[in-house]
């Protein structure tokens, strides 16, 4: 379950009145309770050097990084059947990306916004506009005109190549509208995949236990050097608040996509242009396929990379319960020598390793025989 951060809605539970039940009072001699032992904290002067150093580090990081974080308010007009057009407001976070004043945030923070307002650390309120957005990576870039150079404080970008589980991280954002709140934690896992209902899976995501709540979306996840290693984007929670499972778009994805959003307003995603079934052992047995894992190509988009490379789609339809199964096409087993067993693996590999116009080597099985084709990637429509 994915919960995105945005507008906070309060709900009131109305409790009806009922007749009070009959009350029977039973008096008993109370047992003596144990005497609580007070917890005595050591005076600050007795803290060890490592504790003081850690404290000073977090204080210094916050003082340096928090002025770069902005509070974003997005406003839309929503039609209500009874009240007509009513305003709707959502909040999120963002941070300065460069000296030109470009602000990075999440796509879902500003999606469909009619009006966007940015609040800076010094309290300045200023209108902003979206100059580039990418729904797949959940990234967007804003521009607020009229800022002075002193107000623009970009954060340095880090890399995700050398991250390790257990490293300390810091999240700064605006949870529930509380400006520039800092929380700390560690990297809980790397290479996570977020399944989404309306988009392809987002892979190579950072998981952290630093508290992330509604309003933190678009804020930076920092390492102890104050470098951005991710953009906080989602949580997994049964309650809607932080339970210690948060996710951030990795910095390498940000540095790959954001410059394109600034330059062109969009990011062209590499695409083979095919649809396929994920082969399971059961499907392989039923269709008598030569492999138990891979992708059975069903359709190839005319003119796309796979079509130009000569990949073949289904040649016949097999009637099954509830519809038809397209069979007889090529079986994709690997891309650039990397085994591919799911559609998500294919999408994530292309996203993180390839650009439009680059070539990929496709390992296929056709009529029971292995073949190799080279495809030049096109842009996803």
The reported pLDDT for the residue numbered 242 is 80
The pLDDT value given to residue 34 = 54
**Centroid of chain to Cα 138:** 6
Q: Which of 74, 217, 242, 363 is catalytic?
A: 217
Q: What does the pLDDT read at residue 50?
A: 77
DSSP designation for 255: H
pLDDT at 24: 33
Whole-number pLDDT of residue 177: 87
Q: Distance (Å, rounded) from C-alpha 68 to C-alpha 54?
A: 22
Taking only the tens place, the pLDDT of each residue in 22-55 is 333 333 444 555 555 565 556 656 667 877 888 8
Q: How far apart are CA 102 and CA 34, in angstroms?
A: 60
Write out pLDDT tens, residues 113-164: 999 999 999 999 999 999 999 999 999 999 998 999 999 999 999 999 999 9
Q: What is the DSSP string of 95-143?
A: EE-STT-EEEE-HHHHTT-SEEEEE-TTS-EEEEEEEEEETTTTEEEEE
Annotation marks residue 80 as catalytic:
no
Residues of the chain with pLDDT under 50: 1-30
Burial class of residue 196, CB neighbours in 10 A (0-12, 13-18, 19+): middle
> Which is catalytic among the residues 68, 71, 102, 108?
108
Q: What is the DSSP string of 303-349?
A: TSHHHHHT-----EEEEETTEEEEES--EEEEETTEE--SHHHHHHH
Which distant-in-sequence residues (6+ apart) come within 8 Å of 99 by Cβ? 149, 152, 154
Candidate list 68, 74, 138, 209, residue with the active-site label? 138
Q: How many residues belong to the chain?
A: 381
Concerning whether 138 is annotated as a catalytic residue, the answer is yes
Question: What would the two tokens of residue 231 be?
Answer: 């953009």
Q: Which helix (H) or strand (E) holds 228?
A: strand 228-235
Domains of the chain: 66-143 (2.40.10.10), 168-264 (2.40.10.10), 270-379 (2.30.42.10)
Based on the residue annotation, tell me whether 217 is a catalytic residue of this protein: yes
Tokens of 359: 């070539």
pLDDT value, residue 33: 52
């Amino acid at each position: 379950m994915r919960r995105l951060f945005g507008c906070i809605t309060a709900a009131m539970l109305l409790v009806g009145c009922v007749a009070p039940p009959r009350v029977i009072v039973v008096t008993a001699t109370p047992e003596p309770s144990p005497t609580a032992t007070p917890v005595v904290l050591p005076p600050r002067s007795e803290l060890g050097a490592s504790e003081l150093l850690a404290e000073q580090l977090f204080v210094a990081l916050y003082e340096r990084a928090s002025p770069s974080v902005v509070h974003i308010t997005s406003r839309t007009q929503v039609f209500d059947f009874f009240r007509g057009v009513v305003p709707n407001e959502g909040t999120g976070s963002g941070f300065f990306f460069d000296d030109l004043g470009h602000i990075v945030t999440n796509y879902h923070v500003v999606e469909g916004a009619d009006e966007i307002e940015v609040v800076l650390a010094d309290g300045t309120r200023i209108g902003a506009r979206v100059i580039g957005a990418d729904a797949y990576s959940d990234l967007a870039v804003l521009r607020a005109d009229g800022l002075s150079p002193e107000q623009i404080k970009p954060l340095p970008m880090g890399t995700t190549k050398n991250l390790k589980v257990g490293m300390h991280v810091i999240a700064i954002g605006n949870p529930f509208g509380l400006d520039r709140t800092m929380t700390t934690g560690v990297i809980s896992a790397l290479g996570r995949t977020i399944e989404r209902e309306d988009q392809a899976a987002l892979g190579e995501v950072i998981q952290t236990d630093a508290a992330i709540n509604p309003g933190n979306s678009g804020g930076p996840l920092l390492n102890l050097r104050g470098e951005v290693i991710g953009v906080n984007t989602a949580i997994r929670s049964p309650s809607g608040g932080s339970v210690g499972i948060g996710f951030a778009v990795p910095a390498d994805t940000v540095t790959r996509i954001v410059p394109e959003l600034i330059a062109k307003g969009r990011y062209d995603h590499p695409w083979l242009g095919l649809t396929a079934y994920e082969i399971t052992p059961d499907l392989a047995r039923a269709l008598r396929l030569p492999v138990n894992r891979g992708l059975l190509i069903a359709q190839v988009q005319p003119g796309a990379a796979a079509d130009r490379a000569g990949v073949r789609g289904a040649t016949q339809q097999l009637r099954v319960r509830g519809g038809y199964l397209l069979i007889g096409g090529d079986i994709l087993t690997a891309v650039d020598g990397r085994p591919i067993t799911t559609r998500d693996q294919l999408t994530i590999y292309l996203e993180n390793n390839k650009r439009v116009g680059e070539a990929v080597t496709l390992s296929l099985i056709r009529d029971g025989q292995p073949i190799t084709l080279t495809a030049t990637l096109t842009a996803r429509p």
